[in-house]
Amino acid sequence: MKLALAVSLLLLPFAYAFEYLVSVGKDETTGHSGIGFDPSVIYVQGVGDVIVFRFNNGTHSVVESTYENPCTSKGGYDSGVETLPPSTPVDSAESPRRTVRLNGTDPLWFYDQASGQCQRGAVFAVNPPKDKSPAQFKQNAASDPGTSRPSASATPSGSRTASSPIVATPSHPTKNSAEKIVAFGLTALVGLIVPCTMYL
C-alpha cells in the first residue's frame, strides 16, 4: 500500500507534462510559410515535456545553438534536414515532425540551419531567462556569421546520442491544432496505478 502510493506520487509530475507544437519555416507574424519558428519562444514546465517540430515548405533543419552564438551549432540536438515541395500547404498535417523530449527547465536555443536564414531571425528559444531576452537572442543572431553546415547535411535525418541533454525520439502523429496537450505520461500513470491497486 505505502509502496504503491509512493510510486504513484513519483509518477505524478509526468502526468502533467505538455506537448508544444512548433512550426519550422513559418513567419509567426503573418502565419504564412517563411522565415522562422512559430512560436519563436516557449516556456516549458519541465521534465517529460516534449517539443514537436513541424516542418513547412522549403529546406529546414532545427539545430541547437547558444544564446551568444545563435547561428552556430553547439553540437547538441540536430533534427536533420527536411525538404518539402513549395506546394506544401502551411502546417500541413502530413508534414514531417521531429519530437524532442526535454530533460529539465534549463534554457535551450535553436536555429534553422538548412535554410540559412538564422541571421534574419530564424531562431527559437526555450525558457529564456530574464537576462537573456528573445529580442536580444535575435540581435545576436543577426551578427553571428555562423558556420556552414557540416557534411552531415547530406546524410538522412538522425538523432543525437544519449549523452545529449535532450533526446530525440521518432515523431508520432499528434493532434493537429492543439498547441499544448496534456497527454504525455497519462497512460504511464494509469498503467502504473492499475497494477499497484492489486496490492491494496
* Three-class secondary structure of residue 68 per DSSP: coil
Choose, by CB under 6 A, the member of 15, 19, 33, 168 that binds ligand NAG: 33
Site for ligand NAG contains 87 (CB under 6 A): yes
Choose, by CB under 6 A, the member of 21, 50, 53, 57 that binds ligand NAG: 57
Nearer to ligand NAG by C-beta: 86 or 173? 86
Total residues belonging to the chain: 200
Site for ligand NAG contains 171 (CB under 6 A): no
Site for ligand NAG contains 119 (CB under 6 A): no
The least CB distance from residue 171 to ligand NAG, in Å, is: 21
Site for ligand NAG contains 58 (CB under 6 A): yes
Within 10 angstroms of residue 104's Cβ, the number of other Cβ atoms is 13
Site for ligand NAG contains 104 (CB under 6 A): yes
Q: What is the DSSP letter of 60?
A: E
Round to whole Å and give the CA distance between 123 and 15.
30
How many Cα atoms are found within 13 Å in the side-chain-facing hemisphere of 63? Answer: 29
Residue in this structure with the C-alpha cell 502565419, named with its chain if needed? 31
Site for ligand NAG contains 75 (CB under 6 A): no
Query: Quick one: how far is CA 99 from the chain centroid?
Result: 6
The least CB distance from residue 89 to ligand NAG, in Å, is: 5
* Three-class secondary structure of residue 164 per DSSP: coil
Positions in the binding site for ligand NAG (CB under 6 A) = 32-34, 57-58, 86-87, 89-90, 103-104, 106, 165
